[in-house]
Amino acid sequence: MSAINDGQCGLCSHFGESHKSSDKLVAILSSHQASETLIDECGHPKHAPLHLMVTPVSGCDGFAPAAYA
Ligand code: SF4
């Protein structure tokens, strides 16, 4: 497990955007901890058509803080 900080996918509203309420994603938002080996989709409008897959410790300039982080 790793600490997840602002700017990283695990705390981004686009990480796993199609299933944001899943237990796993909610747990990341509340604990700011996640497995580096978890892979999920990025729903950012510029990335979704490419089916970009990222980890909680990834990041990009499209970061948008998840509402309940
Ligand atoms: S790649 Fe960028 S937009 Fe997508 S989840 Fe990560 S920080 Fe958010």
Q: Mind listing the pLDDT tens digit for each residue in 6-21?
A: 999 999 999 999 999 9
59-62 CB contacts, 8 Å cutoff, 24+ apart? 59/7, 59/8, 59/9, 59/12, 60/9, 62/12, 62/14
Q: What is the pLDDT of residue 29?
A: 97
Distance 10 CA to ligand 1 centre (A): 8
Predicted local distance difference test score (pLDDT) of residue 67: 85
**CA 33 to ligand 1 center in whole angstroms:** 17
What is the value of pTM for the model shown?
A: 0.94
Q: Are 56 and 35 in contact (CB under 8 A)?
A: yes
44 Cα nearest atom in ligand 1: 3
Cα 35 to ligand 1 centroid, rounded to whole Å: 16
Nearest residue (by CA) to ligand 1, atom 8, is 63
CA atoms of 26 and 24, how far apart (whole Å): 6
Backbone angles phi, psi at 23, to 5 degrees: -55, -40
